[in-house]
Structure 1
């Protein structure tokens, strides 16, 4: 999943006009091909989108959006723009059509430099990754966004809110703040009694996302080991890298698994490979529900996925998992898995709240890939994954933001044992 999302970001880089014209010719579609792809997409969302019945969206409204003036669509990128726009009726940042047009909104939370919430009629920044690009540009949790590119923020949200629902306001706000390639957003913010204009450089955030990184970062803080996957949960090579790190940290008295750099998710092989180093017996780590089976046949299908011990030793000492809004998809699965198995204490903020397990399908003519949550996912105690909250919730704006407060809290807890 990470490779696909980063490829999407890379594909959004500017092309020469000559190359664009050649691509446009190669991506032309006949009216019949357009209609068949639209129908395939509508049918899949109707049957397969697991969270369709939990949204306020009227399916007929979504279908009308997809079909509206469809005879004007001529090529692959026009079709991609239409489908991505209409998906916004579901205000779900785990639903996507790729590749996107290069001037379309970037994927959340992978390309999100900060996170905000619409609460009590105000747009409040709630999360800014410590020392990330937005942090270095001067943004802090607790700031109130007043204007976005000179437009009052409530008006900007209303104009961009495709669904029109109040419950989609926070989603729409973060869509706007994630922005598009090459953008520099002008944000008028109020913080600590002062109002000022700050520039959010979207391109700097994108460059940080696509920059080459190691599979993981490891460290020691006294007797405490520390491992942080670098948005690599979709790379099977992480399994061996994690094993190597575990060997080097085997003598520590406690461990921190930092999952705050996993916005693009990953795969279950890597996740189970990591969890398997912390258990001594087979255990379930999450529950799946394939909603489309019940919709089609009236028979509910759900099952639990298991983790088995692996490796030449199992780390049975205290473990803390760190999470935040950039703990996404499989990172969220890892978090609820280790928590559900009684193996870890979780410290941080609410996670990305990416809905379910996505399936990737391809439209027959345009060859566009569409990714939608087809399975609902649950903590083994029955809590929907997107509703999970850490054992210790850390509100970033209530702490000294000159340091990594979530990590500091975890270290203090472990060093006091």
Structure 2
């Protein structure tokens, strides 16, 4: 039995617990309903890409709302919202929390990308420096199974239940979710290559995707007379600005520069982006166009803006090549289309992550976690949707098997571009 003084002490200790621990208290059915209604309505009013989706969002409310009476834990509610958000098959929409058996996020949480080619699931890109490549996976291989489950059987359950008709984009997202796997499962990939069937283990001896570590915010070196800077997924870290400035200053005398954005899947902020671009121009220029879909939907009045980037001190005026890949995502895609629009760089590589628009974060009133959805459409200055941009200088991903063909091509380009 607790005496009065002990009860008071327990109450005080509870109040002193971190908010994250206090938030673990059990929610009522009414609170789950309130959070679900807030989630559905917020997406309904603010998500800006419904017009290119097969998603029946009204059906989402009915289908998942019917499951709420069976929800009694935050883990169950998290899974319900994960599944509901997956109906958008949008890699730029996500929850701010996950479960041990949640699917890894695309593209930041995966090291392989595949597409259906002539009806067959084929690897089109492999992330450099990660387990998939280390295990022997290469572009061009046909996928047979994930963890001994045939690809079609593994991917089909990941298609939404509220799609009018599953389209190619939905099938591709489901395929890559199956390949990415869950946070707590070691992957086994069965593939066909040159008539042979191979079994590959990208997460052995350890799952590198669960513990990504970088040597620093960026890396740099000289490649002959040219300079090289690689951004290590740090475009959301304002400390990158002084680090980038000092690195670029040290490479000021080079004949040209390679800016490698192939390991930037996690997005970033426009402050860092404009700081980087501003070091390569001498006059203010537009680099990206925004459209605000919610305002047009509510009032019927279209609103769009151009975002500018201003020049900064000590501009680098030599030729610039920007390298991109499937793991060039979000803000890195904005930097890329910005350099392209300003005619300040040659873009080399493959398709980028094709992430939709600019995201906004919202927080559930009771569960204590949030979700992110695209609320602004983004375009190159001339109106090309950012997600549709492809490099003018394409590099075949299959050419990467024995080295770094994209970087080699960039260095050769700079040798010619630097000549008077």
Fold match, TM over 0.5?
A: yes
**Aligned pairs, how many?**
393
Partner residue of 1:196 out of 195, 198, 214: 198
1-side partners of 2:119 and 2:333: how far apart?
29
Alpha-carbon offset, residue 258 of structure 1? 0.3
1-side partners of 2:61 and 2:218: how far apart?
43
Q: Is the 8 A contact 2:291 2:303 kept in 1?
A: yes
- Matched with 2:45 is 47
Partner residue of 1:273 out of 268, 272, 275: 275
1-side partners of 2:63 and 2:356: how far apart?
23
- Matched with 2:334 is 333
Q: In 2 relative to 1, CA 393–65 (structure 1 residues): closer, same or farther, beyond 3 Å?
A: farther
Q: Is the 8 A contact 2:132 2:201 kept in 1?
A: no
Q: How does 1:306-321 map to 2 (within 5 A)?
A: 306-311=308-313, 313-321=314-322
Could you say which structure has the larger radius of gyration?
2
Q: Tell me the SS of whatever aligns to 1:184.
A: coil
2-side partners of 1:219 and 1:395: how far apart?
25
- Residues 109-160 of structure 1, C-alpha deviation per residue, up to 9 Å, x if partnerless? 1111111112211110111123332111111111100122222212222232
- Matched with 2:323 is 322
- Matched with 1:401 is 401
- Matched with 2:290 is 288
- Matched with 1:112 is 110
- Matched with 2:156 is 158
1-side partners of 2:62 and 2:94: how far apart?
19
Q: Is the 8 A contact 2:23 2:368 kept in 1?
A: no
Partner residue of 1:148 out of 138, 146, 151: 146
Matched, 1:67 2:68: no
Q: Is the 8 A contact 1:27 1:75 kept in 2?
A: no
- Matched with 1:305 is 307
- Matched with 2:251 is 249
Q: Tell me the SS of whatever aligns to 2:312.
A: coil
Alpha-carbon offset, residue 322 of structure 1? 0.3
Q: Is the 8 A contact 2:133 2:202 kept in 1?
A: no
- Matched with 1:413 is 413
1-side partners of 2:290 and 2:322: how far apart?
22
Q: In 2 relative to 1, CA 134–91 (structure 1 residues): closer, same or farther, beyond 3 Å?
A: same
Q: Tell me the SS of whatever aligns to 2:207.
A: helix
Partner residue of 1:124 out of 122, 131, 140: 122
Q: Tell me the SS of whatever aligns to 1:108.
A: coil
Q: Tell me the SS of whatever aligns to 2:220.
A: strand
**Alpha carbon RMSD of aligned pairs, Å?**
1.7
1-side partners of 2:184 and 2:367: how far apart?
27
2-side partners of 1:45 and 1:370: how far apart?
10
2-side partners of 1:308 and 1:194: how far apart?
54
- Matched with 2:226 is 224
Q: Is the 8 A contact 1:112 1:205 kept in 2?
A: no
Matched, 1:354 2:355: yes
Q: Is the 8 A contact 1:108 1:175 kept in 2?
A: yes
Q: Tell me the SS of whatever aligns to 1:195.
A: strand
Q: Is the 8 A contact 1:24 1:75 kept in 2?
A: no
> Unaligned 5+ residue runs, structure 1?
1-21
Q: Is the 8 A contact 1:130 1:403 kept in 2?
A: no
Question: What is the TM-score of this pair, normalised by structure 1?
Answer: 0.91
Alpha-carbon offset, residue 33 of structure 1? 0.9
